[in-house]
């Protein structure tokens, strides 16, 4: 049973602890002897698909001390000194992202308290332009995209754009802020609005897009796009169906579970081998050359329900073997618990062992 707990105007927590216990067995961590477990601060997230309840169960199961941490209050910095690890992000809304980016920068870079998502991950979350820049740096097969902060360049580029193109705002999530632009005339209108004194109106009432445009080549698909989720050596994912008369799959909640394509899993795995995030979400569509084009990269996503892969009606996940092959492993798991295991093993423990090694060498 979900219990909704209202807080600020428009924001509310959801407690789905009973569902968490009922749907999947807990994830265990093999904690090394001689290393003290951290005291963890949990930032509760807003919305109907909370991560914080999964964090709570994982920490309780593995006897790790924690406290619910209110990062929004004026004493957030003083309170943070009680923790050795901080988890959580309120939501993907612009004002919450602005808040945690600022605070997680201070916590990680100056207080030396590791956070998940990290400061770097909060920067990437829901920032389509930063996703593009990283893809350009590392050569990821990102869909052809034109992004600029220069008015003259934007207007000159209109005559060369392959219409229709997809306009995306920053931030945007769940297809909000995504629009199909079919003509050069409308594209010029959007550009001029974005570079006007007041900026372009957006789907967010308090936010305007100012002095930037993001225009992505429209990639026809077979009625689906594909989401691949990487957590360590575990791979999850599903197909997202495009509603009739629309071009967007994200946010439409039309999910279809079937076997994941091997090439798509290999592509997402190779991307996270470069970025090395505890969790990486890659949205892609098939391309004309038989491969895949990336339309979005994110360090996290909504997880609801826990069945992120189903093959022949069986819930589970793919596991990357040491030889690079992929094995389907049946069984239910909450992805946030698996992510937290990854964070503790490869973020917190790794940092502790590095500090201990440095101390012993002095």
Residue 175 has pLDDT above 80, yes or no: no
> Of 174, 195, 217, at which residue does a domain stop?
217
What is the model's pLDDT at position 5?
78
Are 29 and 46 part of one and the same domain? yes
| Position 92 in a domain | yes
Distance CA 217, CA 180 (A): 10
Give the pLDDT band (50/70/90) at residue 351. confident
CA distances from 130 to 117, 147, 177 (A): 16, 10, 16
| Position 137 in a domain | no
Distance CA 315, CA 361 (A): 47
Mean pLDDT of the chain: 91
Are 106 and 59 part of one and the same domain? yes
Residue 300 has pLDDT above 80, yes or no: yes
| Position 60 in a domain | yes
Provide CB contacts within 8 A for 1, sequence distance 6+. Answer: 16, 18, 19
Whether residue 114 contacts residue 85, with contact meaning beta carbons closer than 8 Å, is answered with yes
Name the percent of the chain lying above pLDDT 90.
71
Give the pLDDT band (50/70/90) at residue 306. low
Residue 171 has pLDDT above 80, yes or no: no
pLDDT in tens, 118-156: 999 999 999 999 999 999 999 999 999 999 999 999 999
Distance CA 212, CA 220 (A): 25
Are 14 and 118 part of one and the same domain? yes
| Position 139 in a domain | no
Are 185 and 74 part of one and the same domain? no
> Of 199, 217, 235, at which residue does a domain stop?
217
Quick one: three-class SS letters along the chain? CCEEEECCCCCEEEECHHHHHHHCCCCCCCCCCCCCCCCEEECCCECCCCCHHHHHHHHHHCCCCEEECCCCCCCHHHHHCCCCEEECCCCCCHHHHHHHHHHHHHHHHHCCCCEECCHHHHHHCCCHHHHHHHHHHHCCCECCEEEECCHHHHHHHHHHCCCCEEEECCCCCCCCCEEEECCHHHHHHHHHHHCCCCCEECCCCCCEECCCEEEEECCCCCCEEEEEEEECCEEEEEEEECCCCCCCCCCCCCEECCCCCHHHHHHHHHHHHHHCCCCEEEEEEECCCCCEEEEEEECCCCCCCCCCCEECCEEEEEEECCCCCEEEEECCCCHHHHHHHHHHHHHHHHHHHHHHHHHHHC
What is the model's pLDDT at position 180?
92
Give the pLDDT band (50/70/90) at residue 222. low
More confident residue, 172 or 184: 184
Are 116 and 12 part of one and the same domain? yes
Are 184 and 71 part of one and the same domain? no
For the chain, what is the domain count? 3
Are 112 and 9 part of one and the same domain? yes
Are 174 and 211 part of one and the same domain? yes
Q: What is the CATH number of the domain that holds 197?
A: 3.30.1490.20
What is the model's pLDDT at position 230?
97
Distance CA 343, CA 348 (A): 7
Are 316 and 230 part of one and the same domain? yes
Give the pLDDT band (50/70/90) at residue 354. confident
| Position 85 in a domain | yes
Least confident of 33-37, 163-167, 357-361: 357-361
Give the pLDDT band (50/70/90) at residue 359. low
| Position 360 in a domain | no
If you average pLDDT over residues 75-96, what whole number do you get?
A: 95
More confident residue, 357 or 48: 48
Least confident of 16-30, 76-90, 188-202, 346-360: 346-360
What is the model's pLDDT at position 244?
63
What is the model's pLDDT at position 8?
82
Whether residue 191 contacts residue 158, with contact meaning beta carbons closer than 8 Å, is answered with yes
Q: What is the CATH number of the domain that holds 277?
A: 3.30.470.20
More confident residue, 202 or 192: 192
Q: What is the span of the domain harbouring residue 346? A: 3-124+341-351
pLDDT in tens, 49-63: 899 999 999 999 999
> Of 168, 188, 217, at which residue does a domain stop?
217
pTM of the model: 0.92
Name the percent of the chain lying above pLDDT 70.
92
Burial class for 42, CB neighbours closer than 10 Å (0-12, 13-18, 19+): buried
If you average pLDDT over residues 228-246, what whole number do you get?
A: 86
Are 284 and 232 part of one and the same domain? yes
Which residues are paired to 234 by β-bridges?
Answer: 231, 319
If you average pLDDT over residues 81-85, what whole number do you get?
A: 98
Are 9 and 120 part of one and the same domain? yes
What is the model's pLDDT at position 161?
96
| Position 136 in a domain | no
| Position 23 in a domain | yes
pLDDT in tens, 238-295: 998 876 655 544 545 678 888 999 999 999 999 999 999 999 999 999 887 889 999 9
Are 183 and 262 part of one and the same domain? no
Distance CA 177, CA 147 (A): 15
């Amino acid at each position: 049973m979900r219990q909704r707990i209202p807080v600020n105007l428009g924001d509310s927590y959801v407690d789905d602890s009973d569902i968490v216990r009922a749907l999947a067995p807990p994830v265990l961590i093999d904690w090394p002897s001689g290393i003290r477990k951290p005291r963890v601060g949990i930032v509760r997230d807003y919305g109907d698909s909370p991560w914080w309840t999964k964090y709570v169960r994982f920490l309780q199961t593995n006897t790790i001390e924690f406290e619910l941490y209110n990062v929004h209050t004026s004493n957030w910095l003083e309170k943070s000194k009680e923790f050795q690890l901080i988890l959580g992000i309120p939501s993907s809304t612009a004002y919450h992202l602005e808040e945690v980016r600022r605070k997680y920068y201070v916590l990680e870079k100056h207080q030396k308290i590791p956070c998940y998502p990290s400061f770097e991950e909060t920067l990437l979350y829901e920032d389509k332009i930063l996703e593009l820049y990283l893809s350009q740096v590392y050569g990821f097969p990102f869909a052809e995209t034109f992004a600029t902060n220069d008015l003259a360049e934007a207007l000159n580029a209109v005559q060369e754009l392959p219409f229709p193109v997809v306009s995306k705002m920053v931030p945007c999530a769940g297809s909000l802020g995504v629009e199909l632009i079919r003509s050069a005339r409308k594209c010029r209108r959007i550009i001029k609005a974005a570079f006007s004194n007041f900026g372009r109106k957006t789907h967010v009432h308090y936010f305007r897009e100012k002095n930037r445009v993001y225009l992505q080549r429209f990639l026809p698909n077979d009625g689906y796009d594909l989401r691949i989720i990487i957590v360590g050596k575990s791979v999850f994912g599903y197909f997202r169906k495009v509603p009739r008369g629309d071009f967007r799959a994200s946010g439409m909640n039309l999910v279809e579970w079937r076997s994941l394509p091997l090439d798509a899993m290999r592509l997402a795995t190779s991307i996270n081998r470069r970025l090395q995030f505890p969790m990486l979400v890659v949205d892609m569509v098939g391309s004309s050359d038989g491969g895949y084009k990336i339309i979005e990269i994110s360090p996290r996503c909504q997880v609801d329900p826990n069945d992120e892969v189903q093959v022949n009606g069986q819930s589970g996940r793919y596991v990357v073997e040491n030889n690079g092959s992929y094995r389907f492993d049946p069984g239910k798991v909450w992805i946030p618990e698996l992510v937290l295991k990854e964070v503790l093993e490869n973020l917190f423990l790794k940092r502790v062992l590095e500090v201990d090694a440095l101390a012993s060498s002095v």
